Amino acid sequence: MAEFTMDLNDDQKQVRDWIHGFAADVIRPAAAEWDEREETPWPVIQEAAKVGIYSLDFYAQQFFDPTGLGIPMAMEELFWGDAGIALSIVGTGLAAIGVVANGTEEQIGTWIPQMYGTPDDVKVAAFCSSEPDAGSDVGSMRTRAVYDQAKDEWVLNGTKTWATNGGIANVHIVVAVVDPELGTKGHASFIVPPNTPGLSQGQKFKKHGIRASHTAEVVLEDVRIPGSCLLGGKEKLDERLARAHERARSGGGERVKNAAMATFEASRPAVGAMAVGTARAAYEVALDYAKTRTQFGRPIIDNQGVAFQLADMRTSIDAARLLVWRASWMAVAGKPFTSAEGSMSKLFASEVAKKVTAQAVQILGGNGFTREYPVERMHRDSAIYTIFEGTSEIQRLVIARTLSDMPIR
């Protein structure tokens, strides 16, 4: 187990600088165009695939970094470039995490390569959990999966919403109810292969921010998939459901993670790193502007009101990064989140991103309110961090219940 350290080693620095260069040279110049177009930036994703950033190997290398800092470091640099384009590049990763967290080795080896495709024929994947009436309240999920034993097939029906890459993905990972009596313990995750009949894209959302990332509903109408597409396999599912029923009969209170929760827990520090990247980008623009913008015969950074804001911005960004790095290190070191450190990192970094980007707009004044400067877009983008993969309110609930030793449902 690697000791926690704030010093990146030479290999990590090289990777960081490489990703930063791609973000600066490829992502940033394209950011305004794809934000306006509100379309998936396929050419940028392809460029990322050609250099090796959009690939299974790249994320595996960062994921297995023994310090735990590979993923947050990569996320921060990509989202420093632009949040919308970066989310299009990394959005497949959430579906991949779902497979790694719940799937068999055979499923991992079969399906994750199909999520990415090749540099000449890039693909994306989608993780589908939220529903119109089941966002934070995952216990209200209505999408059903029924097993057809005669054909060894699962039949899925329902509507998913807020799915990144939903409908345009090559592979969809869908969380569905298999045993309604068990609430969230009766959920399971399924792989929907490419071109499966019955799966279609519903409404595509026109969003406030991260507009280069495709977000849509996914409609499932009598979607039939092979039994082998149940993540983890049916034997494992049957054993888990039997234990849950036994606990319910005996009144046992043991906590059980459902499939969606397992995915979100693994990804929350990474979302915090995304927020840090956006906040850092806005801070750097504001700092540079404050040094060069003159009013009343001197740079505005000479004014205490501006200088103190920048001091607070930098302090909060560094504090957020430390929380993210701590949670990421704890996860790879196998240390339990006894105080919900993963949720802490996501909560704090998300709130920092919203505040820092708002301060950047204020420092730029009227210019900050125009699309001629990137802080306007960064401010819009930052709003998503306190919403997706668990709102700030849900993070506070998770933290509070963890501290009080209450069950997290």
Q: 257-305 pLDDT, tens per residue?
A: 445 554 555 678 999 999 999 999 999 999 999 999 999 999 999 999 9
Chain center to CA of 381: 14
Is 320's pLDDT higher than 80?
Answer: yes
Measured CA to CA, the distance from residue 282 to residue 197 in angstroms comes to 44
Query: pLDDT (tens digit, 9 = 90+) per residue, 376-407?
Result: 999 999 999 999 888 999 999 999 998 988 76
Supply angle C-alpha 369, 86, 278, rounded to 5.
45
Phi, psi of 225 (to 5 degrees): -130, 150
Mean pLDDT score of the chain = 92
pTM: 0.91
Q: Is 25 exposed, middle or buried (0-12, 13-18, 19+ CB in 10 A)?
A: exposed
Query: pLDDT (tens digit, 9 = 90+) per residue, 171-222?
Result: 999 999 999 988 888 999 999 999 999 999 999 999 999 999 999 999 999 9
pLDDT band per the 50, 70, 90 thresholds, residue 101:
confident
Query: pLDDT (tens digit, 9 = 90+) per residue, 166-181?
Result: 999 999 999 999 999 8
Among 76, 265, 376, 389, the active-site one is: 389
Phi, psi of 160 (to 5 degrees): -105, 155
- For residue 66, give the nearest of 398, 245, 334 by alpha carbon: 334
Tell me, yes or no, if 389 is annotated catalytic: yes
Secondary structure of the chain as H, E, C letters? CCCCCCCCCHHHHHHHHHHHHHHHHHHHHHHHHHHHHCCCCHHHHHHHHHHCCCCHHHHHHHHCCCCCCHHHHHHHHHHHHCHHHHHHHHCHHHHHHHHHHHCCHHHHHHHHHHHHEECCEECCEEEECCECCECCCHHHCCCEEEEECCCCEEEEEEEEEEEECCCCCCEEEEEEECCHHHHHHHEEEEEECCCCCCEEEEEECCCCCCCCCCEEEEEEEEEEEEHHHECCCHHHHHHHHHHHHHHHHHCCCCCCCCHHHHHHHHHHHHHHHHHHHHHHHHHHHHHHHHHHCEECCEEHHHCHHHHHHHHHHHHHHHHHHHHHHHHHHHHHCCCCCCCCHHHHHHHHHHHHHHHHHHHHHHHHHHHHHCCCCCHHHHHHHHHHHHCCCCCHHHHHHHHHHHHCCCCCC
Supply angle C-alpha 218, 221, 226, rounded to 5.
95
Distances (CA, A) of 221 to 39, 127, 201, 224, 297: 26, 17, 11, 9, 67
- What is the model's pLDDT at position 252? 58
Is 409's pLDDT higher than 80?
Answer: no
Highest mean pLDDT among 5-9, 125-129, 398-402: 125-129
CB burial readout 69-90, b (16+ within 10 A) else e: bbbbbbbbbbbbbbbbbbbbbb
Is 256's pLDDT higher than 50?
Answer: no
pLDDT band per the 50, 70, 90 thresholds, residue 232:
very high
- What is the model's pLDDT at position 1? 59
Query: pLDDT (tens digit, 9 = 90+) per residue, 321-350?
Result: 999 999 999 988 888 888 899 999 999 999
What is the rounded average pLDDT of the residues 58-64? 88
- What is the model's pLDDT at position 255? 47
> Who wins on pLDDT, 407 or 56?
56
